[in-house]
Amino acid sequence: MIVVYLPFFAVGAVLLVLPTASQSCSVPLGWREMSLNQRVSLADIVVHAKALNKTKTPQFEHGWPEVYDGTMEVYCVLKGGPLSSDITVVEMGYIGGHCTANEVNIDEEYILLLSRRDNGTFLPDNVNVQAAVIQATQENIDNIALTCGLQNFTLPLDVAGNAPEQRGCPTHPNESGKQCVGAGAASHIVMSTNLIIFLFFSLFELL
């Protein structure tokens, strides 16, 4: 996998994940980047958690260690609870052919957008073909907490006796009095499929 940063006019940098000859990915026609609040609004489950361990994914054992299951310690359920304090998120890392990578490092904290599987495990929810793993910076946590429509944040089921602030739950807008951020907030970057194709082939010729 080849990762290249390109300046995108005056807006910032665009991260392109270029597939090798044996890999390919594509985004829907007319794809537009969504803001973090928009993606949180569309995700089924959103948690603040710390990565505890990585193990092989049974369906992708040949992809280890690039593909793995992550054992996560849940600090706070921002959307889609209740959940236990320890959950397993399968098929993390980078899977060949996918346009996104969901990498975590052990002992680091993240915001995860997830979907629930029937067997009690969870999958990364790559809303809008964007990564489901977000760094748990204070700015990101505060931003997500202000997303309109979120219910009260909840602690994991087996640590309900602890205070929210001790487990990573931010203050809900209903309690802080701050105005929530609507999911219709404008995107800062718009990239057409034709531009992606043009950049891909232009860069591929240089490699």
For position 119, which CATH number holds?
Answer: 2.40.50.120
Q: What gap in Å lies between CA 102 and CA 68, rounded to an integer? A: 10
What Å distances lie between residue 95 and 25, 34, 89, CA to CA? 11, 22, 14
Could you tell me the CA-to-CA distances from 20 to 3, 6, 33, 96 in Å, in that order? 11, 18, 23, 9
**Do 11 and 47 fall within a single domain?**
no
Residues 161 and 200 grouped into a single domain: no
- pLDDT on residue 79: 95
Q: What is the residue range of 203's domain?
A: 1-32+189-207
Q: What is the mean pLDDT of each run of 10 residues along the chain (207 residues)?
A: 42 41 72 94 96 95 95 95 94 93 97 95 96 95 91 81 58 79 53 42 48
On whether both 180 and 194 belong to a single domain, the answer is: no
Whether residue 170 sits in one domain with residue 199: no
118 and 200 together in one domain: no
Identify the pLDDT of residue 177: 74
Which of 174-204 are b and which e, b meaning 16 or more Cβ less than 10 Å from the residue's Cβ?
Answer: eeeeeeebebeeeeeeebeeeebeebeeeee
Looking at the fold, whether 109 and 130 belong to one and the same domain comes out as yes
Q: What pLDDT, on a 0 to 100 scale, did the predictor assign at position 187?
A: 39
In this structure, the answer to whether residues 21 and 74 fall within a common structural domain is: no
- If asked whether residues 12 and 55 sit together in one domain, one would say no
**Together in a domain, 182 and 197:** no
Instruction: Verify that 82 and 175 share a domain, yes or no.
Output: yes
pTM of the model: 0.75
Q: Are residues 177 and 194 in the same domain?
A: no
My answer on whether 10 and 23 are in the same domain is yes
Retrieve residue 57's tokens. 């994914």
Question: In the numeric block, which tokens belong to residue 149?
Answer: 């429509």
- Report the number of distinct structural domains present in the chain: 2
CA 115 – CA 121 distance, rounded (Å): 9
Torsions phi, psi of 204, nearest 5?
A: -60, -35
